[in-house]
């Protein structure tokens, strides 16, 4: 497992991103500062929903959501919390979760942003679980 270093911006954590924050996405995480470090491509158990210009995942179940794992600082985590509209009482657009993600032979604890259940009512499921592939297929 990657060591958790403590730098000027705080300790390193891992985040699993599956939508616009993926490499090449509209909010590509590489554009943030301090820059994250790509750790692995991965997938997690969940169902991906099309919310228009971005997706939302509901974690768990038998379907898979495709994404990427990055090492981030606490300063970058705070920026992601703002972007994802996380609220302390879990009433925001996304709910921040800690999930185990298989990355090759390693299992990493990662932050993941799960869409609030009220946001997916009537929204279509993305059967492939891959937001970037879905966007390419509809454009």
CATH number at residue 20: 3.10.490.10
Residue 79 falls within a domain, yes or no? yes
The rounded distance, in Å, linking the Cα atoms of 108 and 2 is 9
Q: Report pLDDT for 10.
A: 59
Which domain, by its residues, includes 44? 6-138
In the chain, what's the furthest Cα-to-Cα distance? 44
The rounded distance, in Å, linking the Cα atoms of 137 and 139 is 6
Q: What is the DSSP string of 10-47?
A: EEEEEEEE-STTSTTSTT-GGGSSSPPEEEEEEEEEEE
Quickly state the pLDDT bin for 14 (edges 50, 70, 90): very high
The token duo for 84 is 């994802």
Residue 41 falls within a domain, yes or no? yes
Q: Report pLDDT for 128.
A: 97
Residue 71 falls within a domain, yes or no? yes
Q: Determine if residue 33 is left, alpha or beta; phi over 0 gives left, psi from -120 to 50 gives alpha, anything else beta.
A: beta
Q: Report pLDDT for 69.
A: 97
Residue 105 falls within a domain, yes or no? yes
Residues, the chain:
139
* Predicted confidence (pLDDT) per residue in 82-128, tens digit: 999 999 999 999 999 999 998 888 899 999 999 999 999 999 999 99
Residue 45 falls within a domain, yes or no? yes
Residue 81 falls within a domain, yes or no? yes
Residue 65 falls within a domain, yes or no? yes
Residue 1 falls within a domain, yes or no? no
Query: Looking at the 3D structure of the chain, how many domains does it have?
Result: 1
Q: Tell me the β-bridge partners of 98.
A: 111
Angle among Cα 104, 126, 38 to the nearest 5 degrees reads 30
* Predicted confidence (pLDDT) per residue in 65-87, tens digit: 999 999 999 999 999 999 999 99
């Amino acid at each position: 497992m990657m060591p958790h270093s403590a730098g000027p911006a705080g300790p390193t954590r891992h985040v699993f991103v599956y939508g616009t924050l993926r490499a090449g996405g509209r909010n590509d995480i590489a554009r943030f500062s301090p820059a994250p470090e790509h750790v692995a491509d991965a997938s997690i158990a969940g169902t991906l929903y099309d919310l228009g210009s971005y997706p939302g995942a509901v974690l768990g179940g038998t379907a898979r959501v495709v994404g990427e794992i990055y090492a981030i600082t606490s300063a970058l985590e705070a920026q992601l919390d703002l972007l994802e509209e996380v609220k302390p009482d879990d009433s925001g657009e996304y709910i921040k979760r800690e999930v185990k993600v298989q990355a090759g032979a390693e299992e990493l604890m990662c932050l993941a942003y799960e869409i609030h259940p009220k946001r997916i009512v009537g929204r279509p499921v993305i059967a492939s679980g891959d937001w970037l592939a879905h966007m390419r297929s509809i454009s």
